[in-house]
Structure 1
Amino acid sequence: MKVIHLISGGDSGGAKTHVLSLLQNLNQTITAQLVCFRDGPFAEEARSRGIPTEIMGGNNIPRLQRQLKAYIRAGGYQLIHCHGSRANMVGALLRRSTGLPVVSTIHSDYRLDYMGRPLSRLTFGTINAWALRHLDYRIGVSDAMVDLLISRGFPPDRFYAIYNGIDFTPPPAQGERLPYLRSLGVDADEDSVVVGIAARLNPVKDMATLVRGYAAACRTCPRLRLVIAGEGPEREKLGALAQELGVNVTFAGWISGGMDQFYSALDINALTSLSETFPYALTEGARFRLATVASAVGGIPDLIDSGVNGCLFQPGDWQTLGEHLAALGSNDTLRRQLGEKLYEKASSKFSIQKTVDTQLHIYQEILRRHSRLKTTRDGVVICGAYGRGNAGDDAILEAILQEMALIDPDMPATVLSKEPKSTRLAYRVRSVSRTNMFAWHSAMRHAKLYINGGGSLIQDVTSRRSLWFYLLNIAVAKRCGCKVQMYGCGIGPVTRENHRRLAARVLNRYVDVITLREPDSREELRAMGVTKPEILLTADPALTLRKAEDDQIDSVLLRAGIPPQGRYLCFALRQWRGFEEKAPLFGAAACYAYKTYGLIPVFTAVEKHLDPAAARLAAQGLDIPHYFLDDAGGAGTIIGALSRMEAVVSMRLHALIFAAGQGIPLAGVVYDPKVSAFLRYTGQDNFTNLEDLTEAALRAMIDRAVGQAGHPETQAAAVERLQAMEGGNVAVARRLLKL
């Protein structure tokens, strides 16, 4: 593989470190040629690292374009990789003339690159914004940067994320700490706890928040010291602020001779930026096992799980920053624990080798996508109850997208969503509004397969209009030339006779294959008279999803104030007809479980906009310890949170599905036939109808669920069977796509 990298050659900071370390390591596997538009320290360092480097300068852009075009063709390069605004502009011009795919790595928010320089922002910033939209692919340094750009309208399926990685080889001994600190001007002794930051002193780094937070922390922890390494336009203003607040801040200027000795002398690493991608300063600090406090911006939360391996605060929140600094300054053990955990995560996930492997994978995928045969029809359109904040429905979408990628990793997919922007951000997939008929009609005319995406969409209990919408969608998709699959779905209840006739007519005429998540739905189709589509019994796609990693789960629980390693009983409740009358029974059952088994109730929301109200109604008046998990994030972290429970009492179907997949004992409260249908399908009989619920029945179900905790093998076998059957959904999609 031969890749040409374009860069201005005047870069510094994180972008410089990223490009040089990446190319140095890439050239051990592929040919990564660097072209700089000016000579100087950047190009000199590249040469010193053994990176093949060429200089093509001048301000005559048409001539530079012709020169590069000839150079690329003569060298047989397969891909153009740009870094920075000028390179992006040149890359956009080369895209059509060379016929090669062009990708840019975005190292910072292009709208903030010229902060405080209005003329440069108007000229270079505008050109860069134009160029970025005329490239084939973009790589954001962190998922957060990718999300930011998608939110600005960039195509979501043309993005990749990469993280700055470093070499975690143990650093050599750095000499004595106190003499070094004193050489920087820090008034430190053996008892001092030194907070440090290394960054350019410009507005984006928001050092004023650090100074204010430090001043607040010093009032309760006077052993703290602050040293700032760096220079910039904010230097005088920060000095004046420190003097005004009455604190001694050491401004060390630029550190010569490398940063290892600086980080080795610190106790706490800090970062207060208003905007970041994924700063090297944090992984450099992690390399020295430093406790870290940082603003929750960019990709920083991907490294730091607050309360688990570091502390996060919102940008500008100097009060919370001060509290974190005071707590770390006062607790030597806590600092060591957080520093060790940060090192463990950073060294395993954010090494330079991990960055190189990711970049190679991105190149391979881009070249594969670039050579993909262009056809008039390609990919899938997926329609379901998505973008409503319901973790169960969105879990179905996540599972279907993962399974489509198993069939074809480059398959185009378009999702119909109530909130297309949130769907694009969550899944990096094209998404259009359910109300934009022109958009989804256009998508159907270019797709091979239409998927009616799981859940109980064909029903009229919650809404007649939703039934009409999904039936209309199915009919339009078929008329547009798509194959139509109803994917791992449930059917019903369809209560009105005219709706049953309408549904049967549409499904018989327009659907190719229906795969069902439980047998009750098959009986409902037969009763409705649906006979013409192929009907197969499979399982719910959400059963294939896996829990998030432990540190992410810990972070979600800690944010809700829940100790990660307690003994818990989950209640997943929802508002429904008759729930208000029955709500006190759940509170009484929570008291019973706590006093009988020592299980602390955790009221967990699956639909984060609606379920918290039901939880608080049930918990009203509780005088025992209890917690509310109102927003556990996506499917992975919800599944992870449920995996920490000893049993789950649930009205919500997907809480039962998620818990079943983790082998957690279940007790179901049935408000809809789909709940009992799933439980019977897994061989469970521990459920009762909401309308029949009594305190005695609920206690008995909890007793049975707790008793099952010591014998998970029966449920595990049933779930494994269902997960194997779920593969039938994928097999049908593959067949209909003719792949």
Structure 2
Amino acid sequence: MKVIHLISGGDSGGAKTHVLSLLKHLNRSITAQLICFRDGPFAEEARSLGIPTQIMNGNNVSHVCRQLSQHIQAEGFQVIHCHGSRANMIGALLRRRLQVPVVTTVHSDYKLDYLGRPLSRLTFGNINSWALRKLDYRIGVSDAMVDLLISRGFPADRFYTIYNGIDFTPTRVDEDRLEYLRSLGADVDEHSVVAGIAARLNPVKDMSTLIRGYAAAYRQCPNLRLVIAGDGEERQMLGKLAEELQVPVCFAGWISGGMDRFYHALDINCLTSLSETFPYALTEGARWKLATVATAVGGIPYLIDQDVNGFLFTPGDHEALGRALATLARDEQLRRDMGRRLYEKASTHFSIQNTVDTQLHIYEEVLRRYHRPKQKRDGAVICGAYGRGNAGDDAILEAILREMREIDPDMPITVLSKNPRDTRLTYRVQAVHRSNLFAWPRIMGRSKLYINGGGSLIQDVTSRRSLWYYLNNIATAKRRGCEVQMYGCGIGPILRENHKKLAADILNRYVDVITLREPDSLQELRAIGVSGPKILLTADPALTLPKADDDVVDSTMLKAGIPPHGRYICFALRHWKGFDARAACFGEAAEYAYRTYGLTPVFVSVEKHSDPSAAALAARDLKVPRYFLPDAGGAGSIIGVLSRMEVVVSMRLHALIFAAGQGVPLVGVVYDPKVSAFLRYIGQELFVDLERLSTDDLKAMIDRAVKLGENPDAQRQAVEKLREMESGNLREARELLNRTAEN
């Protein structure tokens, strides 16, 4: 593979480190040539690292483009990779001349690149903004950067994420840390706890917040010291601020001879930036196992798990920073533990080899997608109850997307969602609003497969309009030429006779395959007279989802104030007709579980908008400790949290599905037949109807669930069997896509 990298040649900081480190290691596997548009220290360092480097300078953009075009064609480069505004502009112009994919790495927020320089922002900033939208693919240096650009309207399915990686090979510094710090001008002794930062002194780094936070901590911990490595336009202002606050701050200037000596001398690593992608300063500190305090911006939260391997705070909140610094200054063991955990995560996930492997994978996928044969019809449309803040419904979407990418990793996918922006950000797919009637025919007319995506969509209990909506969608998709699959779904209840006839007519005429998540839905289909499509009993797609990593689960729980490794019973409740009259039963059962078995109740919200109020009502009169998790995030983190429970009591179907997959004993409270249908499907009999619920019922079922927890093998085996059956959803989708290709 041959890739040509374009860069201005005047770059510094993280972008420079990323490009040089990446190309140095890429050239061990592929040919990665660097083109700089000016000579100087950047190009000199690239040459010293053995990177093939060429200068194409001059202000005549047309001449540079011709020169580059000839060079790319003559040498047979397969990908053009741009870095920075000038390179993006050249890349956008080359894209019109050459049949070669053009990729850019976005190292920073282009709207902040020229902060404080209005003329440059007006010219170079606007040119870069135009060029970024003209390129084929974009790589964000952190998921947060990708999210930012998608939120600004860039196509969600044309992005990749890469993280700055470093070499975690152990290094050794023999120099005495106190002597080194004193050589920088720091007033330290053997009792000093030293916090430090390495960054440019400009507004984006927000050093004034650092000094104010340090001042707040210093008043509590006078042995705390702050060393700032770097220089910039705010140096004088920051010095005056330190004098006003009467705190000892060492301004060390730029550090020469590498940063190992600097990080080796610190106890705490700090970062106070208003905006970041994924800063090297944190992984450099992690390599030295430094306890870390940083703003929760950019990709930083992907490295730092709150209260697990570091502390995060909101930009500008110097009080929160001060509390974190004081906590670390007082507790040497905490510093050691957090530093060790940070090193373990960083060295596993953010090494230079991970970065190189990710970049190579991106090139392979870009080439594969770029040369994908053009087809009149391609990909899938997925429609369901998505974008409503319900973790169960969104888990179905996540599982279906995983399975579609297993069929074809480059498959174009469009999701009909109530919140297209959130869907694009979360799943990196194209999405349109479910009510955009003008978009439906266009999208369906160019897609191969329409998926009516999981859940109990064909029912009229919650809404008649939703039944009409999904049936109309199915009919429209078939008329527009799609193969139609109802995917791992539930059916019913359908109560009205006219709705039964309508549903049977639409499903018989317009659906090719129906895969069902439990036997009760099969009975419902037969009862209303559906026999036209191929019907197969499978399972809910959400059963296939894995739990998040342990450090993510720990952080999710700690953010809600929940110790990660306690003994817990979960309650996943929802408002439904009759719930208010039964809410006290849940509270009394929670108190019983705590006093009898030592299980602290945790009220988990699956639907983050309405479930918290149900939890609050149930826990209103509790006199024992309890916790609330109003928003656990995505399916992976919810599954991880539920895996920490000893019993799960749930009205929510997907809380039961998630917990069942982790072998956790279940108690179901049935507000809808789908809940009891699933529990019977896995051989679980601990459930009761909401309208007949009593405190004694719950207590008795909790007793039995606790005993089941001593031997969870039977439930695990049942769930494993369902996971095997779930593969039928994927198999049928693949056959429909192949059928379309053959036709």
TM-score range, shorter chain: over 0.9
1: CA distance, partners of 2:334 / 2:582: 45
Residue 714 of structure 1 corresponds to 714
2:250 match: secondary structure: strand
Kept in 2, the 8 Å contact 1:37–1:55? The answer is yes
2: CA distance, partners of 1:676 / 1:98: 60
Kept in 2, the 8 Å contact 1:539–1:725? The answer is yes
Residue 322 of structure 1 corresponds to 322
Residue 517 of structure 2 corresponds to 517
Deviation, 1:440, is 2.3
Residue 372 of structure 1 corresponds to 372
Residue 188 of structure 1 corresponds to 188
2: CA distance, partners of 1:400 / 1:42: 46
Residue 669 of structure 2 corresponds to 669
2:602 match: secondary structure: strand
2: CA distance, partners of 1:438 / 1:662: 43
- CA deviations over 1:167-205 (Å, ceiling 9, x no partner): 011112240011111111110000000010000000000
2: CA distance, partners of 1:348 / 1:733: 36
2:25 match: secondary structure: helix
Deviation, 1:33, is 0.5
- CA deviations over 1:55-99 (Å, ceiling 9, x no partner): 001000011100000000000110000000000000001112111
Letter in 1 for 2:259: M
Letter in 2 for 1:107: H
Q: How does 1:149-168 map to 2 (within 5 A)?
A: 149-168=149-168
Letter in 2 for 1:102: V
Q: How does 1:195-210 map to 2 (within 5 A)?
A: 195-210=195-210
1:583 match: secondary structure: helix
1: CA distance, partners of 2:223 / 2:393: 52
Letter in 1 for 2:721: R
Matched, 1:129 2:129: yes
Kept in 2, the 8 Å contact 1:174–1:264? The answer is no
Matched, 1:679 2:689: no
Residue 632 of structure 2 corresponds to 632
Deviation, 1:237, is 1.1
Kept in 1, the 8 Å contact 2:173–2:260? The answer is no
Residue 597 of structure 1 corresponds to 597
- CA deviations over 1:275-306 (Å, ceiling 9, x no partner): 00000000000011100000000000000001
2: CA distance, partners of 1:143 / 1:470: 33
2: CA distance, partners of 1:314 / 1:499: 52
How many residue pairs get aligned? The number is: 739
2: CA distance, partners of 1:113 / 1:441: 41
Residue 211 of structure 2 corresponds to 211
Residue 220 of structure 1 corresponds to 220
Deviation, 1:438, is 1.2
Matched, 1:727 2:727: yes
Residue 75 of structure 1 corresponds to 75
2:438 match: secondary structure: helix
2: CA distance, partners of 1:159 / 1:603: 36
Kept in 2, the 8 Å contact 1:137–1:159? The answer is yes
Kept in 2, the 8 Å contact 1:174–1:260? The answer is no
Deviation, 1:531, is 1.1
2: CA distance, partners of 1:547 / 1:218: 41
Under a length normalisation based on structure 1, what TM-score does the superposition of the two structures give? 1.00
Task: Structure 2: give runs of 5+ residues left out of the alignment.
Answer: none
2: CA distance, partners of 1:498 / 1:722: 34
Kept in 1, the 8 Å contact 2:150–2:424? The answer is yes
Residue 557 of structure 1 corresponds to 557
2: CA distance, partners of 1:685 / 1:172: 61
Task: Structure 1: give runs of 5+ residues left out of the alignment.
Answer: none
2: CA distance, partners of 1:356 / 1:583: 54
2: CA distance, partners of 1:611 / 1:246: 49
Letter in 2 for 1:319: E
Residue 345 of structure 1 corresponds to 345
- Identity of aligned pairs, percent? 73
Deviation, 1:135, is 0.1
1:437 match: secondary structure: coil
Deviation, 1:243, is 1.3
Residue 65 of structure 1 corresponds to 65
Kept in 1, the 8 Å contact 2:683–2:715? The answer is yes
- CA deviations over 1:478-519 (Å, ceiling 9, x no partner): 010000000000001111111111111111111111000000
Residue 286 of structure 1 corresponds to 286
2: CA distance, partners of 1:59 / 1:705: 75
Question: Which deviates further from its counterpart, 240-249 or 117-126?
Answer: 240-249
Residue 642 of structure 1 corresponds to 642
- CA deviations over 1:7-29 (Å, ceiling 9, x no partner): 00000000000000000000000
Q: How does 1:171-570 map to 2 (within 5 A)?
A: 171-570=171-570
2: CA distance, partners of 1:490 / 1:453: 10
Residue 655 of structure 2 corresponds to 655
2: CA distance, partners of 1:394 / 1:597: 34
Under a length normalisation based on structure 2, what TM-score does the superposition of the two structures give? 0.99
Q: How does 1:75-154 map to 2 (within 5 A)?
A: 75-154=75-154
2: CA distance, partners of 1:414 / 1:458: 21
Letter in 1 for 2:108: S
- CA deviations over 1:100-134 (Å, ceiling 9, x no partner): 00000000000000000000000000000000000
Deviation, 1:245, is 1.3
1:454 match: secondary structure: strand
Supply the RMSD in Å over aligned alpha carbons: 0.6
1: CA distance, partners of 2:210 / 2:437: 50
Letter in 1 for 2:308: V
Deviation, 1:389, is 0.2
2: CA distance, partners of 1:370 / 1:539: 35
Kept in 2, the 8 Å contact 1:167–1:351? The answer is yes
Letter in 2 for 1:692: R
Deviation, 1:246, is 1.6
Letter in 2 for 1:479: R
1:114 match: secondary structure: coil
- CA deviations over 1:371-415 (Å, ceiling 9, x no partner): 111001000000000000000000000000000000000000000
1: CA distance, partners of 2:2 / 2:152: 32
Deviation, 1:441, is 2.0
Residue 609 of structure 2 corresponds to 609
2: CA distance, partners of 1:711 / 1:265: 52
Deviation, 1:561, is 0.2
